[in-house]
Amino acid sequence: MQELTHFVNGTHEKGTSGRFADVYNPATGEVQAKTPLATKDEVDAIVAKAAEAQVAWAKVNPQRRARVIMKFAALINDNMDKLAELVSREHGKTLPDARGDVQRGLEVVEVCMGAPNMLKGEYTDSAGPGIDLYSMRQPLGVVAGITPFNFPAMIPLWKMAPAIAAGNAMVLKPSERVPSTSLALAELFKEAGLPDGVLQVVNGDKEAVDALLDNETIQAVGFVGSTPIAQYIYGRAANNGKRAQCFGGAKNHMVIMPDADLDKAADALVGAGFGAAGERCMAISVAVPVGEETADRLIEKLIPRVESLKVGPYTAEEEVDFGPVITAAAKDRINGLVNSGVDQGAKLVVDGRDFSLQGYEDGFFVGPSLFDHVTPEMDIYKEEIFGPVLSTVRAGTYDEALDLVMNSPYGNGTAIFTADGDTARDYASRVNVGMVGINFPIPVPLSYYTFGGWKKSAFGDLNQYGPDAFRFYTKTKTVTSRWFSGIKDGGEFNFKAMD
């Protein structure tokens, strides 16, 4: 059995706690490795080493830091297949999906090559008599990233790249379910020329998280996960005087207007709702057709598409649409919520509960499920299922559909499919959701914009990646400067002082 490590000061270091978490192969249900769970003392020691390394790294000029980022990006690209294999092996997603996971992280790394421009301050000459005013952006020091299981490459890269490009040291705690990708990325960063200690990877559970939140050296914490844990981390970090950006759960709706191209809408719903087994914070989990005729036609088009989805391991010889979910507990929870939907009166038009794959009976596979006639009072509507389940809530009018989205406690992403520009513009303007797609099902912004939700999907006032990342990982210092040698009373310039 492979025993994984932490990555400390540029080397793999065994844990000393004696506690381990099982790392499963979700396709087979077998334990394939054990990852160490760090104690508070281990975390504190790792943070202290990061603080030592950060002092020298902060003095490296931004252009030279950007060169390390550039080499890191090239190494990620060169090792794309290896990294995708690690993602698939521990998460279970298909290889094309895993490559997409790595690619979307790489795109943020590429934007961080522009760190010298992102870190420029402002300057005002002669703000007063002989007075110059300027600001500078400086790194915070040591920052922490706490990342989830569903994107083992992308979200760690979203955290580490801008933090390190800005001159900080990063202590990354990946999900203990998928630790290997973060360890591999740390090796590549070292190969790119990052000094030892600037990126530390510590594996752990709640004890390690709390240690990071309570450690006085940690200046900021970035988190992605469920809403209850996002609220907990945000509150504890803020109480300890730290900056925090914490991104939580979602219940993303897609409104389908009567004038929409229903074939395109159905294809988009299937891809956005069932890709990666629905384990995406930007997955579409609720379809909202407007009008009974629209709903009937949409369901008619969805059923054969959902029934034809192929589920299997990433190692399958034939192409599969999605793989297993992350754990047996996740599988049981998803099936339990589907049961609750049936019990509470929703119509289950495609049933994925009894799915079984020959040769992989112990794997964590869940078949695709499609519901119709779901209402907002049902558990399958209120809960973030995080599985291959699409619920259809019928709306009588556009305003009813908009109100449904507006009244959701979550506000990560939403989409509308329509042929009418006025409707699309009105929806984008009025809806209280952080990311909006118009005839686009998963509106994740490109890496030179910024990613973030509203309401209970996000806590903190700055988003991930893009310009906001550099604002989050730096603090602004403003200097007011005056020199007296060339100034005489009255503010007139003394030319003799130039001689």
- Give the catalytic positions in this structure: 281
For residues 328 and 325, give the distance between their C-alpha atoms in angstroms, rounded to a whole number: 8
Look at the block and give the residue holding tokens 């699309």.
424
From edge to edge, which strands make up the β-sheet containing 142-146? 11-13, 6-8, 199-201, 169-173, 142-146, 218-224, 243-247, 458-459
Q: How many CB atoms lie within 10 A of CB 326?
A: 25
Q: Calculate helix-pair angle for 292-307, 262-274, nearest 10 degrees.
A: 50
Q: Calculate helix-pair angle for 180-191, 62-78, nearest 10 degrees.
A: 130
For residues 4 and 89, give the distance between their C-alpha atoms in angstroms, rounded to a whole number: 14
For residues 286 and 373, give the distance between their C-alpha atoms in angstroms, rounded to a whole number: 11
The residues near 473 (Cβ < 8 Å, ≥ 6 apart) are 139, 140, 143, 162, 163, 166, 168, 220
> Nearest to residue 246, comparing CAs of 215, 218, 224?
224
Q: How many CB atoms lie within 10 A of CB 337?
A: 21
